[in-house]
Amino acid sequence: MIAHIAMILAVVTAGGLFLMVTGRRQREQQRTRLDVNRELYQQRKLELVAERDDGLLTMEAFARANDELDKRFVTENSELEQVADRQMGNAVWVPAVVVMVAAVILYFTFGSWQLQRQADDALAALPDLGRKVMSDQSAQTTREELETFALGLRQRLAQTPDDNGMVWQIYARVMTQLGQAEQSVDAFEKALAINPSNQQAQLGYAQLLVNFGEEQYLAQAAQLLVQVLQQDPTQQEALSLLGLIAYQRGDWQQAQTAWQLLQDQIAPADERYAAIQQALDDVEQRLVAADASLTVTVSLAPKLQDQVPAGGTLFVYITDPDGSRMPAAAVRQPVANFPITIELSDANAMLPEFVMSGLNRWQVMARISSDEQIEAAPGDLDAEPLVLEAGSATSVQLEISKIVND
């Protein structure tokens, strides 16, 4: 590559020298023609003076001839300079364009040759790199080796793009490792178009989609995993991923089912057994919380009986004391006679993906608002918040006993 760059620089340098020499020659030629014209002009001037002194020209004729000579000298010099400028411009720009075109041709010719050589080398190294990447040594593979392996795979696929479902699958996994998600998706889809029952491609594609995390991709990944389990109901990676997808979507029952099927296949001495058990315990807690509800009895302190705003609204709600202030469950109703009993559950969630059963702790709150807004404002009446472990109680009591200040 260095040699090619040196060659291009040499061409450009030679072109520059050529332009310098050409320009100097043009200027020298221009000076020569002007000098000759000036000598002829001076000689004719002397001749006119001699003819006047010899009586061959009257003073009036001498003056006219002298003026005519001056005008002709100025005109001829101007024409010579314009012709010389045009010739010099052509002599400079034409070689300059030639030099530039030559440099561009050399760059692309040798650049393409270098790329092709890299591609050929990658294809030749494909067997050795394949054994390393696909074996237990994969953890020791460098990024440069992965990129070379990917380049070799592209050359193989370019030769027979429609007959290499396995190669497309391997290429997709390599691109995933290199962080090229778009190319990885395209490769997985090509692999599955060639062989829709390619289990490894289905699993790899599902894992990639799970990493995206968005609902549309989770649904697509779940479909792929169901196809795998239809072929092999005991496929461990598919059960693990399906449980993870269900967990991320808040489907605790499906997550529990998938992970329990997975754990049934693993010996207790296997290190994975304890990790799965921990996940199952977490799901069990969430299932209990999802079925649970909390009964909240709200009373009003006697000292605030006269402070209740006309047309006020009562809010009873649960938030995450360790996170967002967004209520996970909330009930609003006009203020009536106290005490008031309200039941909170996931059915009272403001957002389907943020529910009280998904929290580890509950902060239970009650507020009388004068403007029908749940956010605290001066003059609102509040109860002291109560924090408890999720599902640790079935009923609590709150007393509205303070006025919200600025």
Task: Say yes or no: 249 and 208 in one domain.
Answer: yes
Task: Say yes or no: 305 and 268 in one domain.
Answer: no
- CA triple 90-95-97, angle to 5 deg: 95
The answer to the question of residue 127 being in a domain is no
User: What pLDDT does 296 receive?
Assistant: 96
- Residue (of 353, 304, 300, 297) closest to 328 by Cα position: 353
Torsion, Cα of 233, 237, 238, 244 (10° steps): 130
User: What pLDDT does 53 receive?
Assistant: 72
What are the CA-CA distances from residue 126 to residues 84, 118, 120, 374 (Å)?
A: 63, 12, 10, 64
d(CA 143, CA 206): 24
- CA triple 7-9-12, angle to 5 deg: 115
d(CA 12, CA 6): 10
Task: Kindly list the averaged pLDDT for each block of 10 residues, start to end, along the chain of length 406.
Answer: 49 52 53 64 70 72 71 63 53 54 53 56 57 60 76 76 78 86 91 91 93 90 94 94 91 93 94 94 82 90 90 94 91 91 90 85 94 88 93 90 86
Residue 188, domain CATH? 1.25.40.10
Task: Say yes or no: 179 and 280 in one domain.
Answer: yes
Domain that holds residue 304: 293-403
User: What pLDDT does 116 receive?
Assistant: 57
- Residue (of 42, 41, 45, 49) closest to 76 by Cα position: 41
- Looking at the 3D structure of the chain, how many domains does it have? 3
pLDDT tens profile 228-259: 999 999 999 999 999 999 998 888 899 999 99
The answer to the question of residue 128 being in a domain is no
Task: Say yes or no: 279 and 327 in one domain.
Answer: no
* pTM of the predicted structure, to 2 decimals: 0.55
